[in-house]
């Protein structure tokens, strides 16, 4: 049997459910292999649905034990039950109750969707459609019900029992068993259902909301790891406070629980009142977590908490509207992190990640609109486009209407849609209502796939003190003048030899923004007394690729003089990127000198920013800048050579900086942004020194490793050493593995560093890593650390000319696909840019994709990705 291309579900075919469910009463008896779910659903015909239609409930891998309608057993010919659905042929025309008892095996659930066990802890993941693996249900987000959940379990096996909402009762249920009843008063879709049962330790604290509600906030972790849960708990409290101040959104239950589990397909999940997390985004101590981990924990805790309003109180009508909750919530977590840390530094990090993940996605066969119009498998649409480009759309909206109108529009959106399942149209309608604006042209951002190109040119007329900027927008793959234009906010300024030209004026620019809403436009600045350098797309004001031909000298003026930190950083990136694509020793030297002047004047006043300026565009970004014929080896060599050159020219300065920063480094570790910034600059300096002089680099890195008092410095040093072949590297790796042998999350870092070594020997190394006792194919974090890091973070070896790198990833996908299709399908997306590779590599990748396509019984998840990738 050959895998068919899976059928599509289409937005235009949406229709309301024929039935609604108002209340759900669950009695769940946890058992490792035979968990019983006794569900009573209060159903009624939906006035907006088809009267008298048969009732079909979704199911996935279910076994029906019994069924009753309004308390009476059903005749065998009145219904149909299969593992994948339950049908009631002639439902009553008025409200009725359906009691369904199902039985499932949580231990055998390797897909990690529905109810499963992670390290012996019972937990759930229901988004997008896992609830149907627990009981038969109308598993769609526009069916919202009030849930009461009784959980019963063996007291020794699961002393902690958690559910959605508030705890209403608990007690013993016979000698060895106990129970807890949780009630969630807020109607919610099934994807927000959750329960947890297990042996867990906890840290907790109180928070009083702006409405005076006392909330108990707790973070549950593996017993013995409570001392690593404090940072996450603190982030919960800061998130609660911030959402009140920034958006006026208070919490709405008496309890807010976060649970860390070790086997989790994604980052975390916003179940109502009971967020479940991949433990990697909860557990942190200075010895085990890097500054980057702390920042990620803060951001993801905030993200899931913010969903309580943007996602839970206001949810999505259907999965096509996923960006409605995800794009908006990413925007909200980005704003939170920017307020907690350095705003410009955080903005640069956001854009780097957008360019690394979303731009290639948008330029390849997996591209899709922020609001897709069709899908075969919704779990494949939790993408960088939906999340990160979705967040950029919200950001542009704020830029266009201004911060005050944006806040008013958000208030309106929450007020108008509270308790509802909404659409992108509902979201935009709130902003149209408060501003009186027509946002229909802006709405095109949700519909158009692809990264727009914005081409700009400047003409200067000294006699008239006049400067003209000409803009053209185009969307790749979309032809010509008939495509309606996008609305692009262009934040801009003109920069003279000594800084921004404040006297220049342009009637088309308001508050530093020109709104380009036509295919082409020309704007004129007067009072321009010297030839300026245009600074365009300041703060990355829209997710576009900017084409603006500037000389290196002009860009270095922006680095030195622009008032916009993002464009200062961007200017250095642009010069570096060109030097990677077109190496030129003389220009490289001038670039190094300019960086040197920059470091001298301000590295110590903003180390985090300086570290970002020193970090060259990644190999992936260089590949993304080329439209075709990508040779990852050539890119790697060129980038490596530029790093070496910078390291040599800048060495004395880098050493001075390192020494100056070392002095501030004596205090105890703190994850705050300023301390993290100092560490990042020191490590960036050492990285460049090592690139310029590997021998010195190896010994300094070994020294830093030996003296390290925290994971940030330890891992940075190990990463530097990993790029320098030799005995020192192997000893350092072995020492690290021994020291952290009992720390799976730390070993993931060790796995990832090695999987990314850009050497042919990495393939054999990966074979050894897969045989390491800590490695297992059943844990998504382990698979991602070894194979994911290789596929997404080792361009030269993944795309080896002999095809062996593709083969390694394909083998893993094949081995994983039936056990955990979601993780397998995610790995497969690494092939997304295959057609842009030079011909012989592309041919090997194509062969491999066809091999996967031919696997009998391939999951819908993987079949969908392969079909679209092959196009
Ligand atoms: N809503 C979760 C988050 O914040 C992601 C859940 C995705 N899960 C999945 N199986 N597709 O962002
Ligand atoms: Zn989310």
Q: Are 308 and 257 a contacting pair, CB within 8 Å?
A: no
Count of CB atoms within 10 A of residue 39's CB?
19
Looking at all shown ligands, the one closest to residue 381's CA atom is: 1
Residue 409 has pLDDT above 80, yes or no: yes
Distance 126 CA to ligand 1 centre (A): 9
Of the pLDDT bands very low, low, confident and very high (cuts 50, 70, 90), residue 774 is: very high
DSSP-based three-state secondary structure for 858: coil
Which tens digits make up the pLDDT trace of 659-675?
999 987 778 999 999 99
Catalytic residue among 152, 222, 304, 361: 304
Integer Cα distance of 373 and 221 in angstroms = 39
Kindly state the average pLDDT of the residues 702-714.
97
Which tens digits make up the pLDDT trace of 824-851?
999 999 999 999 999 999 999 999 999 9
Residue 702 has pLDDT above 50, yes or no: yes
Of the pLDDT bands very low, low, confident and very high (cuts 50, 70, 90), residue 478 is: low
124 touches ligand 1 (CB under 6 Å): no
Kindly state the average pLDDT of the residues 556-584.
98
pLDDT of 479 reads 57
126 touches ligand 1 (CB under 6 Å): no
How high does pLDDT run on average in the chain? 97
Enter the tokens of residue 510.
């308001």
Residue 98 has pLDDT above 60, yes or no: yes
The answer for 94, left when phi > 0, alpha when psi is -120 to 50, beta otherwise, is: beta
Residue nearest to atom 3 of ligand 1 (CA): 269
Q: Are 824 and 786 a contacting pair, CB within 8 Å?
A: no
The number of the ligand 1 atom at minimal distance from the alpha carbon of 379 is 11
Kindly state the average pLDDT of the residues 738-766.
98
Residue 204 has pLDDT above 50, yes or no: yes
DSSP-based three-state secondary structure for 777: coil
pLDDT of 143 reads 99
Of the pLDDT bands very low, low, confident and very high (cuts 50, 70, 90), residue 3 is: low
Maximum distance among all alpha carbons in the chain? 94
388 touches ligand 1 (CB under 6 Å): no
The number of the ligand 1 atom at minimal distance from the alpha carbon of 303 is 4
The number of the ligand 1 atom at minimal distance from the alpha carbon of 265 is 10
Kindly state the average pLDDT of the residues 790-802.
98
Enter the tokens of residue 107.
């231990």
pLDDT of 480 reads 57
Kindly state the average pLDDT of the residues 33-62.
98
Residue nearest to atom 4 of ligand 1 (CA): 269
Sign of CA dihedral 135, 140, 143, 144: positive
Query: Which of 123, 126, 127 has most ligand 1 atoms within 8 Å of CB, for mutation?
Result: 127
Residue 6 has pLDDT above 90, yes or no: no
Between the alpha carbon of residue 572 and those of residues 343, 605, 610, 632, 711, the distances in Å are 19, 18, 11, 22, 29
DSSP-based three-state secondary structure for 449: coil
pLDDT of 351 reads 98
The 3-class SS string of 260-309 reads EECCCCCCEECCCCEEEEEHHHCCCCCCCCCHHHHHHHHHHHHHHHHCCC
Residue nearest to atom 11 of ligand 1 (CA): 379
Beta bridge partners of 198: 160
Integer Cα distance of 113 and 365 in angstroms = 27
Integer Cα distance of 239 and 251 in angstroms = 10
pLDDT of 761 reads 98
The number of the ligand 1 atom at minimal distance from the alpha carbon of 125 is 10
Of the pLDDT bands very low, low, confident and very high (cuts 50, 70, 90), residue 1 is: very low
The answer for 174, left when phi > 0, alpha when psi is -120 to 50, beta otherwise, is: left
Enter the tokens of residue 196.
């947890």
Kindly state the average pLDDT of the residues 682-693.
98
Rg of the chain in Å (alpha carbons):
28
Residue 270 designated active-site: no
Phi and psi angles of residue 81, each rounded to the nearest 5 degrees, phi first: -130, 125
Which tens digits make up the pLDDT trace of 176-194?
999 999 999 999 999 999 9
Between the alpha carbon of residue 215 and those of residues 21, 76, 244, the distances in Å are 29, 48, 14
> Kind and range of the H or E element at 63?
strand 63-69
Integer Cα distance of 558 and 565 in angstroms = 9
Residue 2 has pLDDT above 70, yes or no: no
Which tens digits make up the pLDDT trace of 521-554?
999 999 999 999 999 999 999 999 999 999 999 9
269 touches ligand 1 (CB under 6 Å): yes
DSSP-based three-state secondary structure for 422: strand
pLDDT of 664 reads 77
Which tens digits make up the pLDDT trace of 602-612?
999 999 999 99
């Amino acid at each position: 049997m050959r895998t068919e291309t899976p059928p599509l579900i289409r937005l235009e075919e949406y229709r309301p459910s024929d039935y609604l469910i108002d209340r759900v009463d669950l009695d769940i008896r946890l058992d490792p292999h035979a968990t019983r779910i006794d569900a009573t659903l209060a159903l009624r015909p939906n006035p907006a649905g088809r009267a008298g239609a048969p009732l079909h409930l979704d199911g996935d891998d279910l076994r029906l034990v019994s069924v009753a309608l309004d308390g009476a057993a059903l005749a065998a010919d009145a219904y149909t039950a299969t593992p994948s659905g339950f049908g009631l042929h002639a439902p009553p025309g008025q409200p009725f109750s359906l009691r369904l008892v199902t039985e499932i095996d949580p231990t055998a659930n390797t897909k990690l969707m529905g109810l499963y066990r992670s390290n012996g802890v019972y937990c759930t993941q229901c988004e997008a459609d896992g609830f149907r693996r627990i009981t038969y249900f109308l598993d769609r987000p526009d069916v919202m019900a009030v849930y009461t959940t009784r959980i019963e379990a063996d007291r020794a096996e699961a002393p902690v029992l958690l559910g959605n909402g508030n705890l209403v009762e608990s007690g013993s249920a016979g000698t060895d068993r106990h129970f807890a009843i949780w009630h969630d008063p807020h109607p919610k879709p099934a994807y927000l259902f959750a329960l947890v049962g297990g042996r867990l330790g906890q840290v907790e604290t109180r928070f009083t909301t702006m409405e005076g509600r006392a909330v108990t906030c707790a973070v549950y972790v593996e017993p013995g790891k409570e001392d690593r849960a404090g940072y996450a708990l603190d982030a919960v409290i800061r998130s609660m406070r911030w959402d009140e101040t920034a958006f006026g959104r208070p919490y709405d239950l008496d309890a807010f629980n976060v649970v860390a589990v070790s086997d989790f397909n994604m980052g975390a999940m916003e179940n109502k009142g009971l967020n479940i997390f991949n433990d990697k985004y909860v557990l942190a101590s200075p010895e085990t977590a890097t500054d980057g981990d702390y920042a990620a924990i803060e951001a993801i805790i905030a993200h899931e908490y913010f969903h309580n309003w943007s996602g839970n109180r206001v949810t999505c009508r259907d999965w096509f509207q996923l960006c409605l909750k995800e794009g908006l919530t990413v925007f909200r977590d980005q704003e939170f992190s920017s307020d907690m840390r350095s705003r410009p530094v955080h903005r640069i990090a956001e854009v780097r990640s957008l360019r690394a993940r979303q731009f290639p996605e948008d330029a390849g066969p997996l591209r899709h609109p922020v609001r897709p119009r069709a899908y075969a498998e919704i779990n494949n649409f939790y993408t960088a486009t939906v999340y990160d480009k979705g967040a950029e759309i919200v950001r542009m909206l704020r830029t266009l209407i201004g911060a005050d109108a944006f806040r008013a529009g958000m208030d309106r959106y929450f007020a108008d849609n509270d308790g509802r399942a909404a659409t992108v149209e509902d979201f935009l309608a709130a902003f149209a209502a408060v501003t009186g604006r027509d946002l229909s042209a802006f709405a095109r951002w949700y519909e158009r796939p692809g990264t727009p190109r914005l081409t700009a040119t400047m003409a200067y007329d000294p006699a008239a003190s006049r400067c003209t900027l000409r803009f053209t927008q185009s969307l790749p793959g979309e032809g010509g003048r008939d495509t309606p234009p996008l609305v692009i906010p262009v934040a801009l300024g003109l920069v003279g030899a000594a800084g921004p030209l404040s006297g220049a004026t342009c009637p088309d620019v308001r508050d530093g923004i020109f709104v380009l809403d036509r295919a082409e436009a020309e704007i004129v600045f007067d009072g321009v007394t010297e030839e300026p350098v245009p600074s365009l797309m300041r703060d990355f004001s829209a997710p576009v690729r900017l084409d603006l031909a500037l000389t290196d000298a002009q860009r270095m003026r922006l680095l030195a003089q622009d008032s916009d930190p993002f464009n200062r950083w961007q200017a250095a990136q642009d010069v570096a990127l060109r030097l990677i694509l077109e190496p030129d020793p003389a220009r490289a030297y001038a670039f190094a000198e300019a960086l040197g002047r920059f470091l001298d004047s301000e590295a110590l006043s903003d180390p985090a920013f300086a570290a970002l300026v020193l970090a060259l565009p990644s190999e992936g970004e260089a590949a993304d800048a080329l439209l075709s014929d990508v040779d990852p080896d050539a890119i790697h060599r060129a980038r490596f050579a530029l790093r070496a050159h910078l390291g040599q020219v800048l060495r004395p300065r880098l050493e001075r900086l390192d020494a100056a920063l070392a002095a501030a480094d004596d205090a105890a570790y703190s994850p705050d942004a300023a301390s993290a910034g100092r560490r990042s600059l020191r490590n960036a300096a050492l990285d460049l020194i090592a690139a310029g002089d590997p021998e010195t680099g190896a010994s300094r890195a070994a020294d830093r490793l030996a003296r390290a008092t925290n994971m940030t410095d330890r891992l940075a040093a190990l990463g530097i050493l990993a790029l320098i072949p030799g005995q020192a590297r192997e000893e350092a790796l072995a020492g690290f593995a021994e020291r952290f042998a009992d720390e799976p999350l730390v070993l993931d870092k060790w796995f990832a560093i090695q999987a990314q070594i850009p050497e042919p020997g990495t393939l054999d190394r990966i074979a050894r890593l897969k045989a390491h006792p800590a490695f297992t194919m059943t844990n998504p974090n382990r698979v991602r650390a070894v194979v994911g890091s290789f596929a997404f973070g080792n361009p030269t070896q993944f795309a080896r000319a002999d095809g062996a790198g593709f083969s390694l990833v394909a083998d893993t996908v094949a081995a994983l696909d039936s056990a955990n299709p979601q993780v397998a399908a995610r790995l497969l997306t690494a092939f997304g840019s295959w057609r842009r590779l030079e011909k012989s590599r592309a041919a090997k990748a194509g062969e491999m994709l066809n091999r996967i396509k031919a696997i009998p019984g391939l999951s819908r998840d993987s079949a969908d990705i392969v079909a679209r990738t092959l196009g």
